[in-house]
Amino acid sequence: MPESSPSIPHVLQRQGGLLSAYDLLGENVFLENAKDIADTLLPAWDTPSGIPYNIINLVDGNPYNPGWTAERGSALLQNGPGQYGKSCPEKGPVL
């Protein structure tokens, strides 16, 4: 198993596949694996801005963003580009 994994695009697609397999076949093993993935990734969404971290360490559960501008831009595009630079009344400034 890799030490870290991208939390957003690839892993969520795999989780969607597990949920689809559960829906089609009704076997609980697919649902249990999807829940395990969701529980593992949950810390990635614990951010001040609400935009999830892009990578999570699978060993210790610590999420982080790489220093690359392209990765941050991708995260913004996937999670609300219209919110860039705006303020959220509940959470304060988004970025």
pLDDT confidence of residue 54: 82
pLDDT digits (tens, 9 = 90+) for 30-75: 999 999 988 888 888 888 888 888 888 888 888 888 766 555 566 6
74 vs 59: CA distance, rounded Å: 25
Q: Does pLDDT of 8 surpass 90?
A: no
pLDDT confidence of residue 20: 95
Q: Does pLDDT of 6 surpass 70?
A: no
81 vs 95: CA distance, rounded Å: 11
pLDDT confidence of residue 95: 45
CA 47 vs. chain centroid, Å, equals 11
pLDDT confidence of residue 11: 76
Q: What is the dihedral of CA 35, 19, 48, 74, to 10 degrees?
A: 140
